[in-house]
Amino acid sequence: MLLIAAKGKRHEALYKLAITTGLRKGELLGLKWSDLDWDTHQLNVQRQIQRVPQKGLTYSQPKTAAGRRMIILGSDTISALKDHQKRQWVEREFKGEKWQDHDLIFPSSIGTPLSQSNLNRDYKQLLKEANLPDIRFHDLRHTAASLMLKQGASVKVVQERLGHSDAAMTLNVYSHVIPGMQREAAEKMDEITALIDISEMLEKVEGQNGLQ
C-alpha cells in the first residue's frame, strides 16, 4: 500500500529502495549517483547524512566497517531509479541557478542534502494517504529484512545487505521470523515426501555406506 500511495511522487524511488534494501534513513539520503553502477546494478553504501549540533547536516561514514557495503539492486528498482533520475533532471532545469549540485540521488528541492526531519514529514503524510498505521520509517528496514528472510534469502545475505556486523545480530533481531519460516519448510518437506518414493534413495544411501 505504501508504494502504491508513493506512485508518481517525488520520493517514490526512495521508498522503493528503502523497502527492497533495508537501508537506513541516513544512508538513503547520503547516496550519490556515483555510488550506483547502472550496468552491474551495484550500489555502494559508504556514507550517511546526519544532523550535528552547531554544524547542521553533515556527511559521515557508517558506524561500523560492515556498514560500508555493496548491495545488488533488482531490475525493477533500477528502473525506478532511472525514472527518478529523469524527474530530477527536469527539476534541476526548472530550478536553474538555485540548484546546488551535490550528486545526491535523493536531495532537497534545490539539490542540497535533504534532512531526515523533512523526509519524515513526507513519510508521515504518505502513511495517512495510504491509510496505514503510524509506523516509524525505521520499520521499513524491518519489513525489508522480514521479506527477504521469508523469500528464502540466507541470514548471511540479509546480514550483509542490512550492514549488520555479524549474522548473530541479524538472527537476534529477526528471530521472530524464523518460526514461521520453519513451519513453511516443514509443510514443503511434507509435500515433497508425499509425492516421491524415498525408499530407493534410502537403499542407495545404505549401499554407499556399505562400500565405505
Look at residues 105, 135, 165 and tell me which one is the last residue of a structural domain: 135
Q: Which three cell numbers stand for residue 174?
A: 529477526
* Residue pLDDT tens, the chain, 212 long: 789 999 999 999 999 999 999 999 999 999 999 999 999 999 999 999 988 888 889 999 887 888 899 999 999 999 999 999 999 999 999 999 999 999 999 999 999 999 999 999 999 999 999 999 999 999 999 989 888 888 888 888 889 999 988 888 887 777 766 666 556 656 666 676 665 555 555 566 566 665 55
The secondary structure element, H or E, covering residue 38 is none
Predicted structure pTM score: 0.81
CA pair distance 125, 131, nearest whole angstrom: 10
Residue pair 179/204 in contact (Cβ under 8 Å)? The answer is no
Residue 158 inside a domain? The answer is no
Are 123 and 204 contained in the same domain? no
Q: Give residue 61's domain range.
A: 2-135
CA pair distance 75, 58, nearest whole angstrom: 31
Are 202 and 99 contained in the same domain? no
Are 113 and 41 contained in the same domain? yes
Residue 157 inside a domain? The answer is no
Residue 63 inside a domain? The answer is yes
Are 116 and 186 contained in the same domain? no
DSSP string, 41-79: TEEEE--EEEEETTTEEEEE--SSGGGSEEEEPPHHHHH
Look at residues 76, 105, 135 and tell me which one is the last residue of a structural domain: 135
CA pair distance 41, 26, nearest whole angstrom: 21
Q: Which three cell numbers stand for residue 115?
A: 534532512
Instruction: Write the CATH number for 61.
Output: 1.10.443.10
Look at residues 135, 167, 201 and tell me which one is the last residue of a structural domain: 135
Residue 146 inside a domain? The answer is no
Residue pair 100/110 in contact (Cβ under 8 Å)? The answer is yes
Are 188 and 104 contained in the same domain? no
43: β partners: 36, 71
CA pair distance 95, 88, nearest whole angstrom: 10
Are 29 and 129 contained in the same domain? yes
Give the chain's domain count.
2
Are 98 and 195 contained in the same domain? no
Residue pair 140/15 in contact (Cβ under 8 Å)? The answer is yes
